[in-house]
A and B are shown apart, each in its own frame.
Chain A
Amino acid sequence: MIYTVKSSALLIIGILMLVWGGLNNSGAIDGMQSYLQKSAHSDHMKVKEKYDAELRVATEIAAAENKPAPDMKMPASKFDHAKAKQAQLSFIFGGFFVLIGLFTLAWKPQQGNLDYLVSVVPGIAFILLIAFVVRWGLDPIFGNWGKAVKAAGILTWDFAKIFNLNYVVIGIVIGMIVVNVLKIPAWAANGVRTARFFLKTGVILLGTLYSAAELAQLGGLSVVMIGIFVLGSVGVVLFMGKRMGTPNSMTAVLSAGMGVCGVSATVAASPVVQAKAEEIAYTIGTILIWGVGCMFLFPTVGHILGMGPVQFGAWAGTGILNSAQVAGAALAFDPTNIETLKVAEIFNITRVLFLPIIVLWLAAWYVKHEEGAQKVNLVHVVVAKFPVFVLGFIAMFALSSAGTFAPAGHYQGKYFSSAEVKEDKLLKGKEARAIEGELTRLREGEGAQALSKYLLDKNVVLEHHKVTPEEVYQSLSDLAANKKMMSRQQNEILKSVAKMEGLDALTAGSIDKAGKAATHDSKTIKAYRDWIAWLFAFGLIGLGMQITGKALKQAGGAPLVIGGIVGTAKAVGSLIVVLMFVKEFI
């Protein structure tokens, strides 16, 4: 079979990308970009004003000294970086697509690996083009509209923020529109199927961004939450199915889908429990409807309740039936930072690790309850269902922990370094004197009492020991003397002290300023996070293109009733548990 479809579409997409890169490089669309990237453009104007002033002064000095005007170059602003990045990505991918596009038109495809590899490129280009349009165009446009509507007083809230109209949600919606309304073009069909490969790659790469402590904490939390809610919902569905008199195969396949990881669990369990075709259709339709609904609803509820990344990630990872929509909801909730995605994906991994166990349980249950059911080979089930990509995740985590990609401590995207504090970021004399004044006050009488009480009441702990007033005095004294933070420990202690009621405002501000000056962005990790976000955005747009209205319409029958009850109970129950017991601890 020949997979490659001869079409000029790939070439056209490549050319469009190259044109976009060229327009960015030449500055021809700066006007439009200044609207799309308002915050970066405002930084650009500040940099330009500073540069103009410096140039004017330098020119005046040079003129007074009868020297030629100095040759100064304006430093790059965030706006310049953003445009350069768009141009770079457009050139790299556009160039590649043009080359492959020309090759496709000239080449006579022959059956084999090359044919298959070439056939997937147009679909990848198609999704990437949508991702570019959504991330660089529609996302900022909706963001601007949300702010404008709020500023004009039409609404008292930012609709784009509350409804999560960001690149992830818009991308998935566009994917669903493409498949259901416009239909996926034949030349793109093969490449669209690669979405799951990119999602798995995203999960594997995400393995580099966890610390051992984070993984242990999140892993423990996810095992408890998933353990309770997965096993609970599987048990409830089995019970309800028996009470409602649904066939054993339908009950079994439904409990897998409702309990573990949605469509993936249904796909894994169906052959084992010999589910009938209509039972599979009902179950998958029900799960998809719930998953898509929850993906839009959960982030809005999360914002309204003011949830943090750990709470939301834990809730989405437990309460949303389908695993693809867990990733979608996590990124929709927190699209610029991938902290929520990190939490949610640990839950997804835990779910998929539970999958072979649940399939075994259901196989045993089915054999026990169904006459003439075929026994399954337990070892074969475990081996066949084991998610190999989880090994990749673990390998990346191990490599990252060994410092292969960035120095230890950089994994969160920011790192502490006293040596890299720039001269102009050191505390001023006035600030150091304010700190010395507060130090004297805190050493004596009421000040000392207030500090001791604060440390005790707030239970200020550092590296498993309670912080003492002496440590605070030493930290403040060192800060006043060095005019910068000298160690991470000092920074952590003073960050807590800065929140103390009654502390001089200038001292609190100086602590904050010194802390920020010593905390630096890790460029490697920042770029890495950005790439992971792109991979997930790409994968989710592609998965959106595989959610068909016809599949959603199959929801019905007993699965819809049972699914509605169990899905609601799981979503509400996990929300209550998360709000009551899960704290933001990473």
Chain B
Amino acid sequence: MLNTQTLLLAHHGTAGALLAEALALDIATPGLTRIVHLLVVPDFWDGMQGDDWLNNASTRDAFGDYVEGMLEADVRKQLRALEGRCAERGFACKPVMRQGDPAACLLETAVQEKASLVVIGPPRPKGTLGYRSRMDLEKLARGLHVPLLIAARAAS
């Protein structure tokens, strides 16, 4: 039987993440399982204005503030939404936000939060719109010391 005391759920609001959420809430035990919601802001944002050299500092700052504000608002919305859904089903939920490589952040959080199970969504089908920032499954499989569950794709 799976130990579901601390379930680490990688969730950033995509269709795949919603499938992962459904699976996580199905296998978790109310009153026992603590869900750690990991939301990763991909590290590609670091290189997004590096190449700009013509603008002055105030323009770059305005852009940085704008993007940060937008990402932060999105993160808050996602975290709050999942927290609400967990509360409805009687699960304790701890939101964790990280910035960096998704797989590296997940491995790090799994250790920090002493996760006993990790649940992620299926890889996004090719051609679907969204950030090009995929979870490196091989890195996860090699680095995780706890079971990893990948939600099945929705039947088309």
Contact = CB atoms under 8 A, between A and B. Distances in A.
Interface string B57-97: 01110110111001100100000000000000000000000
Nearest to B127: A556
Interface in A364-397: 384-389
B47 A278 contact: no
Interface in A282-328: 284-285, 288, 291, 322-324
B67 A352 contact: no
A261 to B, nearest CB: 6
A556 B132 contact: yes
Given A546-B50, A550-B42, A264 B131 contact: no
Interface string A322-361: 1110000000000000000000000010011001000000
A276 interface: yes
A261 B55 CA distance: 10
Contacts of B43: 550
Give the interface centre of B45, B50, B63 by most chain A CB atoms within 10 Å.
B50
30 contacts: A196-B53, A200-B53, A261-B54, A263-B52, A264-B53, A264-B55, A267-B59, A267-B60, A267-B63, A268-B55, A270-B63, A277-B67, A278-B129, A281-B131, A284-B49, A291-B51, A323-B53, A384-B56, A387-B55, A387-B56, A388-B56, A547-B47, A547-B51, A548-B44, A548-B50, A550-B44, A550-B133, A551-B47, A551-B48, A557-B129
B130 interface: yes
Given A281-B44, A543-B50, A548-B44, A553 B55 contact: no
The interface residues of chain A, by DSSP majority, are classed as helix
Contacts of A268: 55, 59, 63
Interface of B: 42-56, 58-60, 62-63, 65-67, 70-71, 74, 129-133
B54 A348 contact: yes
Nearest to A197: B53
Nearest to B42: A550
Give the interface centre of A179, A385, A547 by most chain B CB atoms within 10 Å.
A385
Contacts of B62: 271, 384
A199 interface: yes
Nearest to A292: B51
A502 B110 CA distance: 86
A539 interface: yes
B131 A267 contact: no
Contacts of A271: 62-63, 65-66
A298 to B, nearest CB: 17
B54 A264 contact: yes
Contacts of A261: 54
B108 to A, nearest CB: 17
Contacts of A200: 53
A385 B59 CA distance: 6
B66 A278 contact: no
B130 A278 contact: yes
Contacts of A195: 53
Contact of A276 (B47, B53, B65, B70): B70
Contacts of A266: 52
A263 B49 contact: yes
Interface residues on A, range: 35 or more
Interface in A387-423: 387-389
B68 to A, nearest CB: 10
Contacts of B46: 548
Given A384-B62, A547-B50, 7 more contacts: A387-B54, A387-B55, A548-B44, A550-B42, A550-B44, A551-B48, A551-B50
A280 interface: yes
Contacts of B49: 263, 267, 284
Contact of B71 (A277, A322, A385): A277
Contacts of A179: 47
A323 B54 contact: yes
Contact of A539 (B53, B59, B71, B132): B53
Give the interface centre of A551, A553, A556, A557 by most chain B CB atoms within 10 Å.
A551
Give the interface centre of B48, B49, B63 by most chain A CB atoms within 10 Å.
B48
B33 to A, nearest CB: 32
Given A200-B53, A277-B74, A384 B59 contact: yes
B128 to A, nearest CB: 10
A554 interface: yes
Interface string A192-218: 000110011000000000000000000
A547 B50 CA distance: 7
A288 B51 contact: yes
B50 to A, nearest CB: 3
Contacts of A546: 47, 50-51
A348 B54 CA distance: 9
A386 B58 CA distance: 10
B51 A324 contact: yes
